[in-house]
Structure 1
Amino acid sequence: MGVSLHTTPLDGLNRRLGARMVEFAGYDMPLQFAGIMAEHKACREGAALFDVSHMGQAIIRDVAGFSRLVPGDMAGLKPGRQRYTLLLNEAGGIIDDLMVANFGTHLQAVLNAGRKDVDVAHMRAQGLEVEPHFERALLALQGPKAKDVLPEGAGLKFMDAAALTIGGMACVVTRSGYTGEDGFEIGCAGEHGEALAALLLARGAVPAGLGARDSLRLEAGLPLYGNDIDETTNPVAAGLNFALSKKRLEMADFIGAAAVNAALASGPASKLVGIRLEGRAPARSHAEIRVQGARVGEVTSGVFAPTLNAPIALGYVRADLAKPGTALELIVRDKPLAGQVVTLPFVPHNYAR
């Protein structure tokens, strides 16, 4: 007997649209519809619609209590705004990376699918009241034409958050996403998920799956939890310093503050870098990285980038080798492939500032 997988509120629609389904984080999820390359292109040039309902939506009402668990300035997050932040353990390791929006009466957090139960248990263990709403649907509408497909959200700027009515359905909308393109993440009641998706598809969005989502986020230089960051990763090594509030670091009043401040003071032993490879063959997760025959790191994510028509990767290398232009060798099928460290992102972001 196989393990039964969770399904999202859009499962029926995904199957009717001809999705090729795969297991991801305990869910049966669409890998692709028309094809990864076509869906990637649709997002870069038009508007692509992703079912991301496997991610967890949760409501938090105690801002001060939540602030103790993250290094971001939650007290300074204004109503109608969203922020990327990190749940950290005492060692400064990343329990999860999450998006948190202030809706005035409460914060709404979006948690990674494979970590949402861990996150809620951690927050509750720290005395925080959390209301999980994992039954809700969540759609990511991404691409330069996303604003044309969702005119209701056209007035929002990057990282704005609002409660909006779309096609008669009550939704929470943020102007954000995981592809490097302009776009929106739209949450609604689970029973409205299919109708909302059908409306956006009828307006011109193209259905897209996890395959294109991965190639898009890698081109945008965005880390994926479980691949590029985990409970052993210090945010400084991962290049996530932008998520560390200077004020909070000085106050050192959050879990993991001592470890994060120590990494900032001494510099991390290794750093997450972007790598562009020569040739056509991509290097996948766990491929060894060498310099002059010596192991200096490991690939955490790799893909053939459709936009660049070249293979790219993220990986950790010794900190002294993290400078752009540094030549590396990536071991793929026991053969060394030439690559070099490049500045992230691989493809420029196209957010609505």
Structure 2
Amino acid sequence: MVPFAGYSMPLSYGDVGQVASHNHVRKSVGIFDVGHMVQSNFRGKTAVNFLEWLTPSSLSSLKPYASTLSVLLNEKGGIIDDTIVTKHASDAFYVVTNAGRRERDLAWFKEKLAEWNASETGKNGPVEHEVLENWGLLALQGPEAASYLQGLTSFDLSQLTFGNSAFVPIEGFNLHVARGGYTGEDGFEISIPPSQTLEVARLLTKSPVQLIGLGARDSLRLEAGMCLYGNDMDETTTPVEAGLSWVIGKERKEAGGFIGAEAVQQQLKDGPSRRRIGLVVEGAPARQGAKIFSPNKDELGIVTSGIPSPTLGKNIAMGYVKSGWHKKGTEVQVEVRKQLRKGVLTPMPFIKPNYWRG
């Protein structure tokens, strides 16, 4: 167990090592306890307008029970947090944010809600925010996740495609199940009321399902090219720099209307000064903080996450470099343990994702 975001979290379970856990998720099915994440509901006549002010995504065009990755931005276009927003109805949204940003996010929601509800728009349709305190969240991930879960429900899971959710009957429980996750594999994130979490967890951890800790979660998400807040982005990073321009709705790139829009639109027009990149590093793994140099020893940027990839048998890393140096195939040097090692810019994700798209 390790301290993480105010919680005590499992790095690994029993004597199963990180690499074995990682490989089990890639080949079979594993389950993660991600109940530390903050689950929220936003409701009200103008909920969609409020959330489109807080994020740059096009939420009004989402179909019911569809989700999108998004970002909460500060006034300078910096990322306060990354989030998954699910539209339940035009006036109801389910939002999941990071545990490590809990205090910052909740204070931001409170401040912006007060501002919104005091405005003319808000007065005509006030928005309320409910935090689902102590709710469970379990992520069932891997190529065998669907067949395992299908054995527990009459709901046809083949109809539930990546990025969508539904209320699904699971052995007498009616649970919110979202198809997606943080591993690059097919899988489901299952939200559970506090009184039912333990029972549902027991249902979901029979063979071949293995409990998977934080260690493997980190290596799985990095292979899938996914950012970890606090490592790969923070309030000084914009979505354009982070390679997340795709979360900004097409029409919103023009129209703006969201917090931080001016800075984001400027970068979309002129290009950012730095960009998030993937790297394969020779010799030894480059860890967070390792400097990236040009072949002429000019400093280009920094590694934000790095591991030996269990799936690929190579050292992979994510980081930021000056614009112009971000093209795939570009050769750089990375400082690892005071030695410069060759790095090659490699497109992310490093592995081919196996999302279920129907």
Fold equivalence (TM over 0.5): yes
Q: How does 1:1-353 map to 2 (within 5 A)?
A: 21-33=1-13, 34-61=16-43, 62-104=47-89, 106-127=92-113, 129-151=128-150, 152=153, 153-202=157-206, 204-279=208-283, 281-291=284-294, 292-353=296-357
Q: Which amino acid aligns with 1:204?
A: P
User: 2 CA distance for matches of 1:340 and 1:302?
Assistant: 14
User: 1 CA distance for matches of 2:77 and 2:25?
Assistant: 35
**What TM-score results when the alignment is normalised by the length of structure 1?**
0.92
Moved over 2 A (4+): 152-155
Q: Which amino acid aligns with 1:110?
A: V
Deviation at 1:117, TM superposition (A): 2.5
Specify every segment of 5 or more residues in structure 1 that has no aligned partner in the other structure, as ranges.
Answer: 1-20
Residue 205 of structure 2: SS of its match in structure 1? Answer: helix
User: 2 CA distance for matches of 1:203 and 1:196?
Assistant: 15
Residues 272-313 of structure 1: CA deviation (Å, up to 9, x unaligned): 00000112x211101111112221100000011000001100
Q: Which amino acid aligns with 1:30?
A: P
Assess if the C-alpha contact under 8 Å between 1:83 and 1:99 holds in 2: yes
Assess if the C-alpha contact under 8 Å between 1:22 and 1:29 holds in 2: yes
Residues 226-283 of structure 1: CA deviation (Å, up to 9, x unaligned): 000111101111100110101112211110111110001111111000000112x211
- Name the Cα RMSD after superposition: 1.1
**What TM-score results when the alignment is normalised by the length of structure 2?**
0.91
Relative to structure 2, which stretch is displaced further, 161-170 or 24-33? 161-170
Residues 97-142 of structure 1: CA deviation (Å, up to 9, x unaligned): 1001122262100111111231121122112531111310000000
Assess if the C-alpha contact under 8 Å between 1:236 and 1:260 holds in 2: yes
Deviation at 1:24, TM superposition (A): 1.0
Residue 243 of structure 2: SS of its match in structure 1? Answer: coil
- Share of identical aligned residues, percent? 44
Assess if the C-alpha contact under 8 Å between 1:303 and 1:311 holds in 2: yes
Q: Which amino acid aligns with 2:65?
A: G
Q: Which amino acid aligns with 1:116?
A: R
Q: Which amino acid aligns with 1:314?
A: M
User: 2 CA distance for matches of 1:98 and 1:297?
Assistant: 26
Residues 296-349 of structure 1: CA deviation (Å, up to 9, x unaligned): 100000011000001100000011110111111111111111111011111011
Assess if the C-alpha contact under 8 Å between 1:102 and 1:161 holds in 2: no
Deviation at 1:170, TM superposition (A): 2.6
Deviation at 1:203, TM superposition (A): 5.1
